């Protein structure tokens, strides 16, 4: 019974990882850019939600404010990372340049937040603290269920968007090759910010749900969630959004179950060992196809 409860908890935790992993996989798949500002966006949205609620506003006000700030921040990030980073020399370390700028942004955001609110973890008074129901002795927290359903629904909508719409076709052509996309009449400079807006939206939503579900925030929450989401993304296959769902849920399960069986100290070894094994022996991930990464990575 305890194990079944742990599996449920793992799925719920995984649903937060899923959204962040989808954000990572979008920028990698579309732009070949490992966006390290994702933990910062996640954290900023969570902190703003907490701060507005602590200041006496309705939590929805805080959540919307956090979301707007994260999306605007993501657009600013786009201006200074991807947009300037056109290959000039083609040497081996050049693909890391947007990564370096995004790390710069990560440092900026974390320290601005630390300056405003300090480094201490804060507890969030969840409006749904006792919203849960019990089936056969298993506890289901309603906000967690909602976030699981929301993340699956969002990814479903996203994959429809990519498959069926004009915008999705433009995005996929950019993923294939930006230069060819430009020749085919895709306005790359206008489409790329859309990817960043989606990133900001997904991270902010994940951050807000995380705050509501786990009831505490700190300037460092983004790091742990984002690194686990990266592991989930790699396991599912870089650039594959359905893979990101599976990978995020797998990582959530692995984390909760290894804590259950071996304790909290060991947690890094199974998560990162799994990721390293996948990277070395099956770099396309569990659900990726062989075309991913071909000639791009």
Residues that bind another protein (CB under 8 A): 28, 32, 34, 36, 80-81, 84-85, 88-101, 103-108, 110-112, 115, 223, 227, 230-231, 234, 238, 265-269, 271-273, 275-276, 279-280, 283, 293, 297
Contact 93, 179 (CB under 8 A): no
**Shortest distance in whole angstroms from residue 250 CB to another protein:** 15
Contact 247, 233 (CB under 8 A): yes
**Shortest distance in whole angstroms from residue 195 CB to another protein:** 16
**Closer of 24 and 124 to another protein (Cβ):** 24
Which pair of structure tokens corresponds to residue 119? 């480094």
**Shortest distance in whole angstroms from residue 288 CB to another protein:** 12
**Closer of 152 and 279 to another protein (Cβ):** 279
**Closer of 111 and 164 to another protein (Cβ):** 111
**Closer of 81 and 173 to another protein (Cβ):** 81
List Cα–Cα distances, 112 to 98, 210, 219, in angstroms: 21, 21, 10
**Shortest distance in whole angstroms from residue 32 CB to another protein:** 7
Longest dimension (CA), the chain: 62
Alpha-helix runs per DSSP H in the chain = 2-31, 38-54, 59-80, 97-117, 142-164, 166-176, 178-183, 188-214, 221-236, 241-262, 268-281
**Closer of 112 and 160 to another protein (Cβ):** 112
Angstrom distance (rounded) from CA 107 to CA 128? 33
Contact 43, 219 (CB under 8 A): yes
Which pairs count as long-range contacts for 79-84, CB under 8 Å and 24+ apart, including other chains?
A: 80/105, 81/33, 81/35, 81/37, 81/105, 82/31, 82/33, 82/192, 82/196, 83/189, 83/192
**Shortest distance in whole angstroms from residue 254 CB to another protein:** 13
**Closer of 42 and 124 to another protein (Cβ):** 42
Distance of CA 41 to the CA centre of its chain: 9
**Closer of 1 and 87 to another protein (Cβ):** 87
DSSP 3-state of 220: coil
**Shortest distance in whole angstroms from residue 69 CB to another protein:** 16
| Cβ-based neighbours of 56, under 8 Å, separated by 6 or more | none
**Shortest distance in whole angstroms from residue 46 CB to another protein:** 18
**Shortest distance in whole angstroms from residue 105 CB to another protein:** 6
**Closer of 219 and 252 to another protein (Cβ):** 219
What phi and psi values does residue 133 have, to the nearest 5 degrees? -135, 160
């Amino acid at each position: 019974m305890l194990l079944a409860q742990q599996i449920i908890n793992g799925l719920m935790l995984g649903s937060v990882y899923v959204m962040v992993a989808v954000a990572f996989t979008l920028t990698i798949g579309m732009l070949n850019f490992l966006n390290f500002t994702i933990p910062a966006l996640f954290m900023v949205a969570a902190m703003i939600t907490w701060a507005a609620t602590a200041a006496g506003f309705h939590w929805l006000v805080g959540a919307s404010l956090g979301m707007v700030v994260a999306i605007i921040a993501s657009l600013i990030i786009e201006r200074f990372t991807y947009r300037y980073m056109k290959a000039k020399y083609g040497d081996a370390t050049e693909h890391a340049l947007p990564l370096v700028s995004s790390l710069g942004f990560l440092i900026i955001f974390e320290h601005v937040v630390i300056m405003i609110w300090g480094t201490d973890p804060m507890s969030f008074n969840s409006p749904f603290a006792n919203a849960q129901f019990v089936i056969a002795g298993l506890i289901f927290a309603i906000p967690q269920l909602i976030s699981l359903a929301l993340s699956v629904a969002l990814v479903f909508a996203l994959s429809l968007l990519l498959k069926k719409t004009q915008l999705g076709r433009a995005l996929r052509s950019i993923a294939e090759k930006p230069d060819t996309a430009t020749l085919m009449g895709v306005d790359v400079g206008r489409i790329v910010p859309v990817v960043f807006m989606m990133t900001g939206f997904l991270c902010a939503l994940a951050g807000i749900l995380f705050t509501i579900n786990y009831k505490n925030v700190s300037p460092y929450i983004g790091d742990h969630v984002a690194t686990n989401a990266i592991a989930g993304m790699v396991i599912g296959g870089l650039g594959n959004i359905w893979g990101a769902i599976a990978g995020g849920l797998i990582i959530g399960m692995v984390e909760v179950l290894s804590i259950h069986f071996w304790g909290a100290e060991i947690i890094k070894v199974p998560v990162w060992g799994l990721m390293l094994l996948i990277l070395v022996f099956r770099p396309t991930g569990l659900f990726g196809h062989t075309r991913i990464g071909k000639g791009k990575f």
